[in-house]
Structure 1
Amino acid sequence: MSARSPVPNEEGILQFLAICDAFYPPDAVEASIEQQRDWYNALCARFDRPLPVEMTFADGMLQRIPIRRYRPRNITTRTILLYLHGGGFVVGSLDSHHAICAEIADFAGAELISVDYRLAPEYRWPAQTDDGFAVLKHLLCANKRVVVIGDSAGGNLAAGLALRARDASLLGIVGQVLIYPALGGDLAAGSYVEMATAPGLATADVAYYREMLKAPAGNEIAEPLKASSVTGLPPAFITVAHFDPLRDDGRQYAARLTAEGIDVRFREEPQMVHAWLRARHMSDGAREGFYAICAAIKHFAAA
């Protein structure tokens, strides 16, 4: 039996974890896909919030991909924010990150597009990155400035999209914001061992999601840590949670980008767990971390 991972001691994040466990059990991946999605939808609804004042949104299609477009009360930049939601490529939707996207758009004063990419196991890799890239390519070919943003599985997609755009000589990504991203790290090393049974996400869960996705091992779009070169990528803001098996993915990618001359700002939230974005209104650490994310996005959008 593996040793129990350390846990945070911030009161707000412990309350958050207790709520999460009540809606989404720690062994959720052992249930059916339908049950996992029902639990996840209920969890997301529990943390739903009223949208910022005068925020408008509309669902639509872009390049045949379902999207949700957010427009804040005051738009101060023409840069578009492109959001890829988390959920292990198995759960999540336009609704799961609804308030998060709206609050980011409002803070940045920018239009935000959230992508409803296809989910595994019904659709295996590369369906998810192809959906995101279709939307991104449309925006870049229309001469739009874009900030790509994603959390967890969405952070994987955002990093991969930056690589795909570079390789296709598509210009216009002015920043990439990766929030506790899954980037293809070694499941038998580092934080995957130290935080193997961390609250909120276990290393066994990461292995499960990889099996559902069935991305080819070593593919640099699926596993950006395996990229042969990161030269030419846009500047990055990368944030990780200390109590998270994915922590070292973000650490290592930030170090790799920095080593190859990319402008990177890196944060490690000392009391946070995976998926802490949902705790932003009940945890001081999550509130500060979310402010840092929004400030970085606003900076990229205005630059």
Structure 2
Amino acid sequence: MPIHPEIAKILSTLPAPDGSPLDPVAMRAGEAAHVPPLEGRLPLYAVEDVAASTTSGTVPVRIYTPADAKAYGLLVYFHGGAFFLGSLDTHDHVARALAKETGYKVISVGYRLAPEAAFPAGLDDCYGVLRWAAEQGERLGWDGQNLAIAGDSSGGTFVAAVAAKAHDDGFDRITQQVLFYPSLDLDFDVDRYPSLRENAEGYGLETAGLKPFNSFYLSSGADAADPQVSPIKREDLTGLPPALIITAEFDPLRDEGELYGQRLQVAGVPTTVSRYPGANHGFVQNFSWIPQFYEAFRETAAFLNQHSLSRDRAE
């Protein structure tokens, strides 16, 4: 099917890339200017900003409680933004929707960004908050069983890397992982995946923009050959938690996400790969107001429920 007409309408208004250098400070300010006011956001039972004390230092987190309950599954969420953009505020609406639809208490991580913070600072922050959440279970009202991780785009990179790191460290508490259109291979050779050519231009994220957008991360010490940076390069995927991988039809990164899902399945990991027709990269963040794309949150809820260790969490 063609790209969704509402997405096409907005894409037609975007200026063509002019090849000028990217300015992280200006781009972050532009993002911040589009964050809706608090009164325009999805209401929840409680939203709280907290400083999480972790092995990588103090990390700002935002905790979303969907309803008054005795206990909750926890979902630790890593926002996207090519490792140098995004914040607790720019992805606040994503975290709210995840909390509302899943019933999990969502912990959004304000990890350090490149280029100011060198690799592996952001990854360490995400992993540190995961461990902090488990340690603070009683305070957070955790049900003691369900501990999921989720992320979009580069946040999906961190999901895969954190799941692998936790496995290697013997931390076996992660029960589910959810990756929205993840960036899993930072080797951007255009011949590696057909979608890099098929969706190269005209769909928002363009193949030619992948290198400059990720250059801040790679120049900070991240090596594209390192499985912590490009999780698809990890040889042994056995023992990882059940995965939901959501991809977009018109995304240059589509095929690497779907290949990773296939490799997880071959490794015996219960994995669902779900491609959203008519969607482009970033649709969960940018176009979830379109009903067929908001469905990604409901699909996440169904997946978490399917792989829940406790189907009788107290209401």
Question: What interval of TM-score do these two structures reach, taking the shorter chain for normalisation?
Answer: 0.7 to 0.9
Q: Distance in 2 between matches of 1:15 and 1:297?
A: 33
Give the CA deviation at 1:218. Answer: 1.5
C-alpha offsets along residues 180-199 of structure 1, whole Å, 9 cap, x if unaligned?
00001542222122212242
Equivalent position to 1:39, from 30, 33, 50: 30
Q: Does structure 2 retain, via aligned residues, the 8 Å contact 1:233–1:262?
A: yes
* Mapped pair 1:194 → 2:198: yes
* Mapped pair 1:85 → 2:79: yes
TM-score (norm 1): 0.88
Q: Could you tell me which residue of structure 1 aligns to residue 51 of structure 2?
A: 61
* Mapped pair 1:280 → 2:280: no
C-alpha offsets along residues 103-139 of structure 1, whole Å, 9 cap, x if unaligned?
2112111211000000111112111100001111223
C-alpha offsets along residues 46-65 of structure 1, whole Å, 9 cap, x if unaligned?
9x95223x431111111211
Q: Across the two proteins, how many residue pairs are aligned to each other?
A: 292
* Mapped pair 1:153 → 2:161: no
Relative to structure 1, the CA distance from residue 107 to residue 285 in structure 2 (aligned partners, 3 Å threshold; closer, same or farther) is: closer
Relative to structure 1, the CA distance from residue 51 to residue 262 in structure 2 (aligned partners, 3 Å threshold; closer, same or farther) is: same
Q: Could you tell me which residue of structure 2 aligns to residue 137 of structure 1?
A: 131
Relative to structure 1, the CA distance from residue 15 to residue 75 in structure 2 (aligned partners, 3 Å threshold; closer, same or farther) is: farther
Q: Distance in 2 between matches of 1:29 and 1:84?
A: 29
For the residue of structure 2 that corresponds to 1:159, the secondary structure is helix
Q: Distance in 1 between matches of 2:52 and 2:187?
A: 35
Taking only the aligned residue pairs, the percentage that are identical comes to 32
Q: Distance in 2 between matches of 1:276 and 1:27?
A: 24
Q: Distance in 2 between matches of 1:180 and 1:27?
A: 25
Question: What one-letter code is carried by the residue in structure 1 that aligns with 2:99?
Answer: A
* Mapped pair 1:180 → 2:181: yes
Q: Could you tell me which residue of structure 2 aligns to residue 11 of structure 1?
A: 5
Q: Distance in 1 between matches of 2:20 and 2:64?
A: 32
C-alpha offsets along residues 170-219 of structure 1, whole Å, 9 cap, x if unaligned?
01100000000000154222212221224221122221233210211321
Q: Distance in 1 between matches of 2:297 and 2:18?
A: 27
For the residue of structure 1 that corresponds to 2:107, the secondary structure is strand
Give the CA deviation at 1:13. Answer: 2.3
Q: Could you tell me which residue of structure 2 aligns to residue 212 of structure 1?
A: 216
1:109-148 aligned within 5 A: 109-141=103-135, 144=144, 145-148=146-149
Q: Does structure 2 retain, via aligned residues, the 8 Å contact 1:75–1:110?
A: no
Question: What one-letter code is carried by the residue in structure 2 that aligns with 1:177?
Answer: V
TM-score (norm 2): 0.85
1:88-103 aligned within 5 A: 88-103=82-97
Question: What one-letter code is carried by the residue in structure 2 that aligns with 1:39?
Answer: G
Relative to structure 1, the CA distance from residue 28 to residue 119 in structure 2 (aligned partners, 3 Å threshold; closer, same or farther) is: farther
Relative to structure 1, the CA distance from residue 79 to residue 36 in structure 2 (aligned partners, 3 Å threshold; closer, same or farther) is: same
Q: Does structure 1 retain, via aligned residues, the 8 Å contact 2:181–2:254?
A: yes
Q: Could you tell me which residue of structure 2 aligns to residue 223 of structure 1?
A: 230
* Mapped pair 1:255 → 2:259: no
Q: Does structure 1 retain, via aligned residues, the 8 Å contact 2:186–2:229?
A: no
Question: What one-letter code is carried by the residue in structure 1 that aligns with 2:296?
Answer: G
Deviates more, 1:258-267 or 1:211-220: 211-220
Q: Could you tell me which residue of structure 1 aligns to residue 168 of structure 2?
A: 167
Question: What one-letter code is carried by the residue in structure 2 that aligns with 1:226?
Answer: K
Q: Distance in 1 between matches of 2:20 and 2:178?
A: 27
For the residue of structure 2 that corresponds to 1:222, the secondary structure is coil
Structure 1: state its 5+ residue gaps.
1-6
